Amino acid sequence: MATVIVIGAGLGGMSAAYEIKAELGNAHDVILINNKPDFEFTPSNPWIAVDWRQRKETSLPIEPYVSKKGIRFIASGLQALQAEQKQITLTDGQTLDYDFLVLCTGPELAFDEIPGAGPDAGGTVSVCTLSHAEHCRDSVHALIEEPGPVVVGAMPGASCFGPAYEYAFILDKHLRDKKVRKSVPMTFVTSEPYIGHLGLNGVGDSKGMLESELRQRDIQWICNAKTVGIVDGKIEIDELDEDGNVRKHHSLPYKHSMMLPAFRGIAPLRGIDGLVNPRGFVIVDEHQRNPKYPQIYAAGVCIAIAPPKATPVPTGVPKTGYMIESMVRALTLNIKAELEGAQPSAKATWNAICLADMGDTGAAFVAMPQIPPRNVAWFKKGKWVHLAKVAFEKYFLHKMQTGDTEPIYERVVLKSLGIDKLE
């Protein structure tokens, strides 16, 4: 009997535990480890920040649901990984051995790389976690009581740009609903070389469409923005040119600022030679397996993906939901193959499907594969996207409750559209 340990119970980790258990059955043990007792649907965090959702609507306890599938759950953080010994130590003092380890840890938020940034420093707020979104909500309440300038965007090295755009549009709608938008000048500040780059060299007409949406909402923007610090209620920004030289310095006063940080790998993994890159992201091959430690697989935001093209201000590559699901499907089949004495052969397509809410409308894109050059690059907007994202929130939470990560009707619909998880 083999022991498969999954660390992290986010979009990738919880799905991985369910899929691996479904494939391996009771012949092998599956253990899910997470530093929180609850699953949180991260894509809903911008709604949390403007009081459109509450915690109980976008999170659920993990143990009652996974235990029904025969998965053991431990609510504890990772303290250390002894990759040579195939052993992990948890923050609660437990030491566990594994035959296969699946890392779905998500990232560490690198606010400390920008002086004054982040909720702890008090300079900016965030929607990266549910708790951060609730803290952001308090700042939004204060903004409505005492309107003033708003700065939203992404700092150098950020890789998840979608939530920054979403939040800017959602906050604009919320402020209009509260009848205070006229007193709140808004600026979108991003490390992207152009609006709609998204860390992906753009998708379809993302540049033109998102620029148009910002203009319609009277939101100004600064691209190639290198945030250098937050001091005395001002965000200090160096705007770079195409060669990386400072073109202009901006000192933006703000009443409310939500700035997404750069990500890095979590502390217990950083520095493990051959497992992670210099930023602490897990190195994987085409089968989601680490080359040096083949018993370790990884999926999601914690894996290393090189940007398709260097930019004047560093930008990372986003790992979107369906892309993560494709990684999970591949590693599940590869672990099963290894346990049956075969070689891993499954490869994730890394196709991307993204629904971005804009408050009263939305934008959707399909990129197949996510990293260019692509076979398909499609970007559309409409009120239907807002409704689709609301429906997807309910649908995904339902999947995490039932443990059925890919119902047959989902598989049939995506297959009919030519969207597959595996090559």
Residues with catalytic function: 160, 354
**Phi (first) and psi of residue 58, to 5 degrees:** -125, 10
* Residues forming beta bridges with residue 39, ordered by sequence position: 60
CB-based burial label for 324 (10 Å; 0-12, 13-18, 19+)? buried
Question: Would you report the helix, strand and coil content of the chain in percent, each value rounded to 5?
Answer: 30, 25, 40
Give yes or no for a contact between 124 and 113, defined as CB atoms under 8 angstroms apart. no
d(CA 268, CA 277) in angstroms, rounded, equals 13
Question: For the purposes of burial, counting CB atoms within 10 Å of the CB of 175, is it exposed (0-12), middle (13-18) or buried (19 or more)?
Answer: buried
Token pair belonging to 18: 């369910």
* Euclidean distance between CA atoms 324 and 184, whole angstroms: 37
* Nearest in space to 47 (alpha carbons), one of 158, 154, 163, 149: 163
Alpha carbon distance 414, 407 (integer Å): 11
Distance CA 170, CA 255 (A): 17
Q: Cα–Cα distance between 2 and 406 in angstroms, integer?
A: 25
- CA angle at residue 255 from 40 to 46, to 5 degrees? 20
- Measured CA to CA, the distance from residue 376 to residue 419 in angstroms comes to 10
Q: Helix, strand or coil for residue 25?
A: helix
Apex 87 CA angle, 85 and 90, nearest 5:
150
Q: Measured between alpha carbons, how far apart are the two ends of the chain, in Å?
A: 30
* Beta strands 296-298 and 100-103, pairing class: parallel
Burial string for 21-50 (b: 16+ CB within 10 Å, else e) reads bbbbeeebbbbbbbbbebbbbbbbbbbbbb
Measured CA to CA, the distance from residue 188 to residue 341 in angstroms comes to: 53
